[in-house]
Structure 1
Amino acid sequence: MADKPDKTNKLKARLPRGFADRGGAEIAATRRMLDKIRAVYERYGFEPLETPAIEYTDALGKFLPDQDRPNEGVFSFQDDDEQWLSLRYDLTAPLARYVAENFDALPKPYRSYREGFVFRDEKPGPGRFRQFMQFDADTVGSASMAADAEMCMMAADTMEALGIPRGSYVVKVNNRKVLDGVLEAIKLGGAVNSAKRLMVLRAIDKYDRLGRDSVEQLLGRGRKDESGDFTHGAGLDTQQIAAVLNYIEFQLADEIDLEGVFDDWRRIVSSSIAGTKGVTELEEVAFLCHSAGYGPTRISFDSSVVRGLEYYTGPVYEVRYDGLIERFRGEPVPATGFSIGVSRLMAALQHLGKIESKAEPGPVVVTVFDRERIADYQKMVATLRNAGIRAELYLGSGKMGPQLKYADKRGAPCVVIQGGDEKAKGEVQIKDLIEGAKAAAAIASNQEWRESRPAQF
């Protein structure tokens, strides 16, 4: 008797935590969405750029999403030369490396867009993955607030290109200099407070997601989440916490007087040169956007918008980062841009009914009625493909029933069947899987066949 297979050592198929597979329907829906985003970016004069998923760790630097030291928050490994390499955690740091490496050859300003997966070694959770897709647009080499205003307008146009009507979205803008001015006002300026300052900014950035009470805890001693994990807080005193919350809770209604808001912000940061400059920059961005017809229902100025990365230096919608390229060149290079989280935007669009997640129609399946005529069937498939029709030959060994079940599972609009009788007449039988009807037709004219079935091909 033959030995039975040993199942005890069978490898278990499993997906790592924080990662997800994507099927054909999701990929097709994502492709349609990215095409619309790409069209807007290119209409603004931006050109594509692709960088590797792996960079030298020191090129990514210490600017990590949840930690302020290398190798934390990223997936890293050493190569044969004992050099540390890391999977990119965003698309901005690789852009900085690319610009620094090709600085003299690039036009200034340099407008580019990039799309691709990024990786973060963080605790996964609902809607929070370790691999996710981003779609970025950046302008490098211009310190003008017009570049920042252009980014805000392009973000608004992108939302509308995706079918989100005005009134259902808003691009929120803030300025990191204003935030830094607020922190200076509560005695958190200077290098000695840099770590605490970063903790405060990351806490503020969670305001929309966690709410006031949780942010208040993160500004103070710390917060325990629903899983029981404890996050240490920034350790601010009661007065400092009150000052920060007072600032970030500015709510700007559509009808609000922006000049009055900017005056209030200027008063709050009056002791800070950087903070005062930040308010002036926001005023200029607001003027340029509103002059172009992008009013407060499309672009608003919100004091709770931060972002957690340390390289942000100016207007934050995501983001001006004048200091990032300086690490490579030794001189400041102004840069501004924004990033779209593709997965989260896709979920929002599906919720709004703006994107269908159905799979694209499958290929026409040419069935194998007579195994000895496999070459004839392969020729049929080639003829269909040459006519621009998606087609495939059934490669299994089943009879006609299993072949039809396969075609149905593939989402095929129809199958092609040719037995001995059809062969003798120079015809094929077409089984319409969509309408559930049969038709006999000569295959003399692929053009005529396609024109008679416009919904399927």
Structure 2
Amino acid sequence: MAKVKKAPRPKAQTPKGFRDYFGAEVSERAHMLRAIAEVYHRYGFDALESSAVETVEALGKFLPDVDRPNEGVFAWQDEDDQWMALRYDLTAPLARVYAQHRNDLPLPYRRYAMGPVWRNEKPGPGRYRQFYQCDADTVGAASVAADAEICAMLSDTLETVGIPRGDYLIRVNNRKVLNGVLETMGLTDEAQAADVLRTIDKFDKVGESGVRELLGKGRLDASGAYIDGVGLSDDQAAPVLAFLTSKGADAAKTFANLRDAIGSSQTGATGVDELEQIADLLHAQGYGADRIDIDPSVVRGLGYYTGPVYEAELTFEILDEKGRKRQFGSVSGGGRYDDLVKRFTGQEVPATGVSIGVDRLLAALREKGRIQSTAQGPVVVTVMDKQRMADYQAMVAELRNNGIRAEVYLGNPKNFGNQLKYADKRNSPIAVIEGGDEKEKGVIQIKDLILGAKLAADASLEEWKDHPSQYEVPRDQLVAKVRALLDLHK
């Protein structure tokens, strides 16, 4: 009889493009989400938690095809042969929710949502297939006052989580202005117009000269490969370049340059008018160009947005992997999308919103030294006599009931040194010790592990020379002494 082959053990590794998050990282994210939610709530937005799974039909952006129905998303067929998928953002589910429950929801409907999204895309450095987003949207408000409010709220949010004024800039543009430029160019071929939009989207990477070449015959990229251009004449390309370079010394000059770029286009004129209204509304609330600025170079998701668009960029410098200085870049973006709900209802419903990339924002705060990658662990109550576990549990309960994070060591108590090693690995600030002698005298030993680590690293620390690293205190002073030490090291 043939020997039955054992199934191989599974590899203990995360799937490609995914990662695990441990204690400190999870706590940092939760703290940030709470801070953002407080700002959104203060602005009158209500929380919404929609399903992580949607029908592919409802998601819309990645409709199934014959060869690869799950392109761009993680999709599968259910028992009824309907294609389902993990959400790729938080906006498409909002459109479905509003269309489904519109009779029960207020109009306008103002909601915020936070959670993971999934994209079936090629992973890369810092680019994962699962990441967190934090959105706020207003559905049912046609006024650009809703767009101005989103920009103001985004500014407040960045400052609340720890990005100081001067380290960020929210830049605002309007898709209608760009549509006016296309009208002025007289482009009637949809494919050529789409090529122009894609070229404009490269402005931040290739600059004015690069866009000029790509609108014309083409250009050599950094690798030496030749990229075919759109094939426009210099006269045809002129309005696009005027639009992209219309940023002036102040908002008034920018608006004047934009009006020159759009020519006689009524669509473009409406877009400029809306930008002027947004600037006036923000100025009335005290938001100057140092925080929120009109900038025609902002071009986001050109086929998605229908009006104002905005992007939050962090302006401080960091060093890249090669040691070169560069700006941190964008952490948030959004805009007006008046056609999304229409897919479900057949009627246009105005909507505008913003999405914050939580992981990028956390990375920015780490770069600024605003958060640390290690979190303080719990106070550890050591076990000197396993027959007296009830005494130790009573201590830990007393600490917890007074709001102090604490735990009893639950490993093998035989080697006391291992208990202290455990406390160090947990980044614990304090170890509590009560052996038989201490029990008999009615005292406990409280070991300051933070000071101990500091003295071990540098015994010449003058500011700590008068502080012992271990204290003997009466048992009834457990909470008071632990709290005093924790306050000392805050």
Distance 1:77 1:220 in 2: 43
Distance 1:49 1:432 in 2: 44
Gapped runs of 5+ residues in structure 1? 1-5
Q: Indicate if the aligned counterparts of 1:177 and 1:314 stay in contact, CA closer than 8 A.
A: yes
User: Is the deviation greater in 219-228 or in 312-321?
Assistant: 219-228
Q: Indicate if the aligned counterparts of 1:202 and 1:307 stay in contact, CA closer than 8 A.
A: no
Which residue number corresponds to residue 48 of structure 2? 49
Change (3 A) 1:211 1:341: farther
Distance 2:288 2:117 in 1: 33
Note the alpha carbon deviations across 1:281-325, whole angstroms, 9 max, x for none: 112111211222222222211112121263311000111111111
Change (3 A) 1:219 1:80: farther
Distance 1:128 1:454 in 2: 38
Are residues 1:123 and 2:122 paired?
A: yes
Q: Indicate if the aligned counterparts of 1:55 and 1:94 stay in contact, CA closer than 8 A.
A: yes
> Which of residues 281, 286, 293 is equivalent to 1:288?
281
- Kindly report which structure 2 residues correspond to 1:188-227, keeping only aligned pairs within 5 A, or say none: 188-189=187-188, 193=190, 196-209=192-205, 211-212=207-208
Gapped runs of 5+ residues in structure 2? 311-333, 453-468
Which residue number corresponds to residue 252 of structure 1? 248
Q: Indicate if the aligned counterparts of 2:399 and 2:479 stay in contact, CA closer than 8 A.
A: no
Distance 2:84 2:215 in 1: 34
Change (3 A) 1:361 1:321: same
Q: Indicate if the aligned counterparts of 2:445 and 2:472 stay in contact, CA closer than 8 A.
A: yes
3-state DSSP class of the match of 1:350?
A: helix
Change (3 A) 1:407 1:115: same
Distance 2:140 2:245 in 1: 34
- Kindly report which structure 2 residues correspond to 1:34-433, keeping only aligned pairs within 5 A, or say none: 34-62=33-61, 71-189=70-188, 193=190, 196-209=192-205, 211-212=207-208, 235-239=230-234, 240-241=236-237, 243-253=239-249, 256=250, 258-308=251-301, 310-317=303-310, 318-353=334-369, 355-397=370-412, 399-433=415-449
3-state DSSP class of the match of 2:451?
A: coil
Aligned amino acid, residue 299 of structure 2: V
Which residue number corresponds to residue 3 of structure 1? none
Distance 1:224 1:268 in 2: 28
3-state DSSP class of the match of 2:122?
A: coil
Change (3 A) 1:71 1:236: farther
Change (3 A) 1:16 1:47: same
Distance 2:10 2:292 in 1: 53
Distance 2:26 2:431 in 1: 25
State the TM-score, normalizing by the size of structure 2: 0.80
Which residue number corresponds to residue 443 of structure 1? 475
Aligned amino acid, residue 343 of structure 1: D
Which residue number corresponds to residue 320 of structure 2? none
Q: Indicate if the aligned counterparts of 1:363 and 1:392 stay in contact, CA closer than 8 A.
A: yes
Offset, 1:147? 1.0
Change (3 A) 1:284 1:344: same
Change (3 A) 1:324 1:224: farther
User: Is the deviation greater in 291-300 or in 28-37?
Assistant: 28-37
Offset, 1:241? 4.8
Q: Indicate if the aligned counterparts of 1:377 and 1:393 stay in contact, CA closer than 8 A.
A: yes
Q: Indicate if the aligned counterparts of 2:242 and 2:261 stay in contact, CA closer than 8 A.
A: no
3-state DSSP class of the match of 2:336?
A: coil
Are residues 1:14 and 2:7 paired?
A: no
Identical aligned residues as a percent? 54
Aligned amino acid, residue 259 of structure 2: R
Distance 1:211 1:16 in 2: 37
Distance 1:220 1:15 in 2: 46
Distance 1:287 1:125 in 2: 41
Say what the alpha-carbon RMSD is for the aligned residues.
Answer: 3.1
Change (3 A) 1:144 1:403: same
Distance 2:226 2:90 in 1: 27
Change (3 A) 1:56 1:379: same
Note the alpha carbon deviations across 1:322-351, whole angstroms, 9 max, x for none: 111111122111111111112222222332
Offset, 1:176? 0.8
Q: Indicate if the aligned counterparts of 2:221 and 2:227 stay in contact, CA closer than 8 A.
A: no
Aligned amino acid, residue 241 of structure 2: L
Change (3 A) 1:389 1:238: same
Change (3 A) 1:120 1:244: farther
Distance 1:178 1:70 in 2: 35
Note the alpha carbon deviations across 1:99-124, whole angstroms, 9 max, x for none: 11111211121221111122222233
Distance 1:211 1:8 in 2: 56
Change (3 A) 1:128 1:356: same
Q: Indicate if the aligned counterparts of 2:240 and 2:261 stay in contact, CA closer than 8 A.
A: no
